[in-house]
Amino acid sequence: MQPPPATTRADAVFTHLRQRIVEGQVATNTKLSEPELAKEYEISRSTLRDALSRLEGCGLLERKANIGYRVVTLSTSQLLELFRVRESLEGMACRLAAENMTPAQLMELKDLLAQHQKNESLQQGQAYFQQEGDLDFHFLIVLGSANKMLIRLLCEELYYLVRMYRYQFGMASSRAKRAFSEHHNIIQAIEDKDGELAEILMRRHISASRKNVEKRMNTL
């Protein structure tokens, strides 16, 4: 079930660079020098460019003709834009998950929630794990939608951006407790096969996150 261990050099560099960018080891808005990066990875520029073009496809890099690649900038306004996109897409994903999720997938989802509850009762301050766990939760629901296009858009494109924002803005969630209970209600709606409600709850869940960020932004 693991992703195959990078059959090609470009693939390995792609994966590695993606992690570096997401974790902020390559600062946002940095212009990438192809000769420099190629030398660093000890590959040719062709191979590197292959990797870079894929990163562009993930929305992590931007490219201008005759100028080069640049790491995307994470502005607060774009973060809010991302929330809007997630609200709509994940809302739909949740509706479809309620209709299409297999019992095995649902069980996995409930296990994850139970695990979160344990973790939460053990340690309150582990914002990092909670955040990754939150993303796992959303991930499983998207997979449950059984809509390949939705899965590709969210899991292979937008979620890397989401992780990038979380790493760099590090929003320790004061919302953790409430978010957990929202997760619980969402699962209940899915279990009841109530797609309409599931969508509404997911949209509110993400919208509440967005408003939380907006509020935090305004106080700065």
Partner DNA sequence: AACCCAAAAATTGTCGACAATAGGCGTGTT
Partner DNA sequence: AACACGCCTATTGTCGACAATTTTTGGGTT
For its own copies, which stretch binds (CB under 8 A), given 100-108, 144-152, 180-188, 208-216?
Answer: 144-152
Answer yes or no whether residue 66 interacts with its own copies by CB under 8 A.
yes
Task: State the Cα–Cα distance between residues 165 and 86, nearest whole angstrom.
Answer: 14
Query: 81-90: string of b/e by CB count within 10 Å (b at 16+)?
Result: ebbeebbebb
Give the CA dihedral 77, 79, 81, 82, nearest 10 degrees.
170
Length of the chain: 220
> Per CB under 8 A, does 9 bind its own copies?
no
Chosen residue from 24, 34, 108, 185 binding DNA by CB under 7 A: 34
Measured over the CA atoms of residue 128, residue 76, residue 164 and residue 40, the dihedral's sign is negative
Which one of 4, 5, 35, 103 is in contact with DNA (CB under 7 A)?
35
Q: Rule CB under 8 A: choose which of 71, 97, 143, 150 binds its own copies.
A: 150
| Binds its own copies by CB under 8 A, chosen from 14, 22, 43, 54 | 54
* Footprint on residues 167-206 left by its own copies (CB under 8 A): none
Residue 21 Cα distances to 8, 14, 30, 76, angstroms: 20, 10, 10, 18
CB of 178 to its own copies, least distance (A): 23
Report in angstroms how near the CB of residue 133 gets to DNA at its nearest: 34
Please choose, out of 47-55, 143-151, 188-196, 205-213, the segment that lies near DNA by the rule CB under 7 A. Answer: 47-55
